[in-house]
Structure 1
Amino acid sequence: MITAERKPLEELIEYISPYQKILLVGCNECVTVCAAGGRKEVGLLASGLQMSMLQKGKNIEIREHTLERQCDPEYVEELITMADDADAIMSMACGCGVQTLAGRYKDKPVFPAVNTKFMGASEQQGVWAERCQGCGNCLLGETGGICPIARCAKKLMNGPCGGSTKGSCEIDPEVDCAWQLIWDRLKALGQTENFVKINPAKDWRTGYGSGPRKIIREDLAE
């Protein structure tokens, strides 16, 4: 899932200070799971913003709404009436949701309330770790389901560097060496022959930094 963290309250106050009526929009998808922008977080942020603005001598009106998905134009249409009555919109979704709102409601300033971080997985309650960078050419089938792009600090494609020690990354000893994890996994699966395969240099034209990217399914596109 896409993970996010809420921006500092001071930054959000700076965004909305010029406006009187704010539409604060949450998302029921990824940011709800990582406790950054769901219905609960929308309510907490609305209260925090109103209290902070009152302390500055300004009474603002904040209307709250949480969409099923902000990155889907179908759901964004629900906001038509509310957006018309707002001076500005603040989104608690990832960057995709912010841009979808801004693209639909072009006459309204749309501000992000969270910082989008990475695609990650839940390790334990309240802890999410990066697991995918959307590189566009997945090699998890060769590496035992462990991604060297997202989990190796140096993004090495053919085994560990010389700095890993006792299974830990030299960048941070609290982080497991991705290639040690890959070796252990391949060994457990009886697939150690994959470890000695030479992977070509990563073609970054398929992934991060090569955009804007797009996927078109001809069988689904109208």
Structure 2
Amino acid sequence: MIVVENKSVEDILQMIAPYKKVLVAGCYGCVTVCLAGGEKEVGLLASQIRMARQKEGNPIEVLEQTVERQCDKEYLDKFQDNVREVEAVVSLACGIGIQYLAEVVEPVPVFPGVNTQFLGANRDVGQWEEFCMACGECVLDKTGGLCPIARCSKHLLNGPCGGSQNGKCEVSKEIDCVWHLIYERLSALGQLEKMAEYIPAKNWHRNEGPRKLVKEELTLERD
């Protein structure tokens, strides 16, 4: 899932300072799971904005709406009625949803209500950990299902480095050395020979510019 963190109310108030009527737009996707941008958080932020502006003697009208996903145009169209009524939008979706919504509702400005952090897994209640950098060249088949790009501080494809000690990363004793974990996982799987396989350096040029994936069979069906 995409993990996000809420921006401060102070930052958001500064963004929307010139406006008298705004929409706070939520998403039932990843941001709901990480308790940052679902219907509940939309209501809370809207109330905080109203109260802060009332206290300033500069009242504001705040509309609230949450849709299934802001990364899907099918659901973004549902915002159109409310967008026609406001001067600006504060989106609590991830960076993808914020950008897509801004494209769809232009020329109405869309402001981010969150900071997008990483692609992660829910380790425990209220605890998320980065597992993937969406690099486009997955090597999990060679590393026992543990990603060295996202989970190694140096993004090493052939580790561990010389700084790893007692299964911990030299950056911090709080960080497990993923290459130590890879060794243990491959050993348990009976695939330790994979540690001797050289993984070529990643071609980061493939990540230049906005990447796109097109399923030809689906576009043909649509046509």
Identity %: 51
1:154-165 residue pairs with structure 2 within 5 A?
Answer: 154-165=154-165
Residue of structure 1 in register with 2:123 after alignment: 123
TM-score normalised to structure 2 length: 0.97
Deviation at 1:211, TM superposition (A): 2.2
Residue of structure 2 in register with 1:167 after alignment: 167
Aligned residue identity for 1:218: E
Residue of structure 2 in register with 1:211 after alignment: 209
Aligned residue identity for 1:168: K
Deviation at 1:204, TM superposition (A): 1.1
Distance 1:14 1:101 in 2: 20
Distance 1:82 1:143 in 2: 48
Residue of structure 1 in register with 2:201 after alignment: 201
Residue of structure 2 in register with 1:145 after alignment: 145
Task: List per-residue Cα deviations over 1:114-148 (Å, max 9, x = no partner).
Answer: 00111000111000000000000100011000000
RMSD: 0.8
SS of match in other structure, 2:173: coil
Distance 2:11 2:144 in 1: 42
Deviation at 1:57, TM superposition (A): 1.1
Residue of structure 2 in register with 1:10 after alignment: 10
Contiguous gaps of at least 5 residues in structure 1: none
Task: List per-residue Cα deviations over 1:164-209 (Å, max 9, x = no partner).
Answer: 11000000110100100100100010000111101111111233xx
Deviation at 1:110, TM superposition (A): 0.5
Aligned residue identity for 1:127: Q
1:47-196 residue pairs with structure 2 within 5 A?
Answer: 47-196=47-196
Maintained 8 Å contact 1:91/1:98: yes
Aligned residue identity for 1:219: E
When structure 1 is superposed on structure 2, of 129-138 and 99-108 the one drifting more is: 99-108
- Equivalenced residue count is 220
Aligned residue identity for 2:216: E
Distance 2:67 2:206 in 1: 31
Maintained 8 Å contact 1:137/1:206: no
Distance 1:104 1:44 in 2: 25
Distance 2:36 2:205 in 1: 31
Distance 2:214 2:46 in 1: 38
Aligned residue identity for 2:87: D
Aligned residue identity for 2:40: K
Aligned residue identity for 1:215: L
TM-score normalised to structure 1 length: 0.97
Task: List per-residue Cα deviations over 1:57-81 (Å, max 9, x = no partner).
Answer: 1111111000100011110101111
Distance 1:190 1:47 in 2: 56
Aligned residue identity for 1:79: F
SS of match in other structure, 1:175: strand
Distance 1:159 1:103 in 2: 42
Contiguous gaps of at least 5 residues in structure 2: none
Distance 1:107 1:206 in 2: 32
